[in-house]
Structure 1
């Protein structure tokens, strides 16, 4: 496919305008008909939101949700809800940035900031992707181990095959990637529906779990897990990913066409992330209704959770459903994180590499530390490492969120599609909450 770079959107004012779009092989590859019905337009924009939603239910999220449910019952459900609201607001800003300017977040940072600032932000973004990939690679390896008995070290290496899966699917068209991801999400939902039915949770306690409590702030252990849930839900790499893949749609360049594209892209994201909230809540509810209820408050390992499900639920199928859902989550997440790594690498430092090499380099960045961690610590400590990786993500969030809010609030850069003041104010509050919680966590752990 040939892309006319000259036709790429150039709305707004930036310090520099250089480089080709990220994910050039699928850039504007899905046509949007101006005469289509609203339903057909919704279906045309359906997809990117679900690729983003994958990052909100990855294996690292499983570890934090399992630990939170096992230790504190249904209390942290409110954190999952708040995190999801944060995610919807921030991801809507990503879609707005991409549609208004034709840039993903990484390109916007490269063009707007001096080189030393953009390269610093690139390093932080890569660290976040390393933490993400570490969680996803280990989670996928654990899923392979639970289902097929494959050693973790071998399972970590097998995750490298996602490079070839992405290439094969992308050669068939970006819609194939979206269909593949959505299919696995449906499998995950079915697995958890059956497990929740078997667990028979206290639905009154579930509803009360969505009410806020001050214990989350005053209890350092609960705050640690709450931050982990925020880090696992509002993930830095998802902000870069979404602002890149929204541009796979070939919407028009006029202001009405862009407004229309923004409406349907936001709707796609909102529906997809509400689906992600259901899955996240299901993981925590399952842990609360089984492990916390049985006094197994120390369950943080995915393997340990797998072992306990059968005796606690009294159904031999429960562990298999858990492992199948975990494997689907892990594989989905490694695919989308690899794409996010490509967007970050191309956007920030404008490196031109063959598609297979770009993805292989991104995957190796995760595989090497995952193998080292697995060999040094073994399966017994992987759950704690997964939770820690999510807290690391939470610390990285401000370096992606603050530029995003600044760009989308600037009429000079966004033109008529500048974010409304209420939306900017909400995003500022989100950024402030994340930063304050991070400082509080540091002080609690530094001074006991």
Structure 2
């Protein structure tokens, strides 16, 4: 039976999972299975394994010090928080648009709305913004737990049922050749697998916020157990979505659609073909719920991180810090949502290309943020008794080296 300390700490790790099970899983993993069969399964597994220490350090640092990674970045100098702020504006600004677009596509399919995709995007953004400003962290955590449970159970059942249809070849003959186009997709797939590296920052901020919500500091053991459940749970779900794409779409020679509504309809068909027509409404609501939760968690983490970066770079704190943070949160959230909507309004093209751009950016920035996370965990602010085990630090160094190698290879392919 779970200990009271663990049950009390449960939450930030599941928020991490909620933020991850979105574009990278529902879209990219499913597409990988649909196009390549099991050909990219190793990529999904490797990406999750090599990035684990960098993501874990977010929750670990916050639990050990009571501070977020943003504060740790500031201890390293001005450059790390400035670079993080730039990444949040560029990469995560596009991510807000991509997540809203996918969620809006599912909204149109589930409810049969005869409205434009941009109208559906506006509805999603308005609902998410209102929920976050009114409900805050307390309700975000509770909603996420419910929706993650529903999607996890339904996805595991669907995956078990689709296994007999999967071509278990290491690289199926029906998969496309490994050319430039395939390599670019691999970069996009790995870039947001399990999610963008900025989510390690979000995890640290949620851990700090959880302590405030509880009124007490959670134990390091409980925080790490919660994070591990969320992290490795998302890895399993990524594999499940790849298997669903391989078993239904690849085996049936179904090409992934290039628009959000059409691809959402294909996702619904995956569950219909494995669980039966009765499950479509249930799964539709579940997929919508989880994508909406992904929007909530990603938007919340982005805004908290950006406000924290601005706060870390200020010379003097505001006299009313709590009031300032609430106003800054609402204003920043509104600004990101408006900017993301305008981005879609003026530059919306192919759905697949839009998502690939966002995830490829994450592929290039991951090793830099992972390096910062490693440096922060080695800093003097972490008590000696709460430092990661030596094997984790070696694992972290190896992961950073591999991410740098892959990023360099990606740039070489693009510019030569």
Residue 97 of structure 1 corresponds to: 61
Whether the aligned pair in 1 keeps the contact of 2:93 and 2:339 (CA below 8 Å) is no
| Unmatched tracts of structure 1, length 5 or more | 1-36, 210-214, 252-256
Whether the aligned pair in 1 keeps the contact of 2:16 and 2:199 (CA below 8 Å) is yes
Whether the aligned pair in 1 keeps the contact of 2:303 and 2:333 (CA below 8 Å) is yes
Q: CA deviation at 1:199?
A: 3.8
Q: 2:52 aligns with which of 55, 80, 88?
A: 88
Find out whether 1:132 has 2:98 as its counterpart: no
Within a 5 Å distance, the mapping from 1:234-249 to structure 2 comes to 234-249=195-210
Find out whether 1:221 has 2:181 as its counterpart: yes
Structure 1 residues 91 and 354: CA distance shift in structure 2, 3 A: closer
Q: 2:146 aligns with which of 179, 183, 205?
A: 183
CA RMSD of aligned residues (A): 3.2
Whether the aligned pair in 1 keeps the contact of 2:62 and 2:68 (CA below 8 Å) is yes
Structure 2 counterpart SS, 1:83? helix
Whether the aligned pair in 2 keeps the contact of 1:153 and 1:371 (CA below 8 Å) is no
Q: CA deviation at 1:317?
A: 4.9
Find out whether 1:400 has 2:369 as its counterpart: yes
Residue 294 of structure 1 corresponds to: 252
| Unmatched tracts of structure 2, length 5 or more | 319-323
Structure 1 counterpart SS, 2:388? coil
Residue 428 of structure 1 corresponds to: 397
Residue 358 of structure 1 corresponds to: 329
Separation in structure 1 between the aligned mates of residue 164 and residue 347 of structure 2, nearest angstrom: 37
Structure 1 residues 264 and 366: CA distance shift in structure 2, 3 A: same
Q: 2:297 aligns with which of 336, 342, 354?
A: 336
Structure 1 residues 431 and 219: CA distance shift in structure 2, 3 A: farther
Deviations 1:51-82 (A, max 9, x none): 01112211343221122111100222222222
Structure 1 residues 363 and 87: CA distance shift in structure 2, 3 A: farther
Find out whether 1:262 has 2:262 as its counterpart: no
Residue 156 of structure 1 corresponds to: 121
Q: CA deviation at 1:240?
A: 0.9
Separation in structure 1 between the aligned mates of residue 377 and residue 64 of structure 2, nearest angstrom: 9
Structure 1 residues 317 and 278: CA distance shift in structure 2, 3 A: farther
Separation in structure 2 between the aligned mates of residue 388 and residue 38 of structure 1, nearest angstrom: 42
Find out whether 1:108 has 2:72 as its counterpart: yes
Q: CA deviation at 1:382?
A: 1.5
Residue 159 of structure 2 corresponds to: 196
Deviations 1:86-145 (A, max 9, x none): 44322321122112332211122123303x553233212332321321221111111111
Q: CA deviation at 1:367?
A: 4.3
Q: 2:238 aligns with which of 275, 280, 283?
A: 280
Residue 321 of structure 2 corresponds to: none
Structure 2 counterpart SS, 1:397? helix
Q: CA deviation at 1:332?
A: 1.0
Structure 1 counterpart SS, 2:243? helix
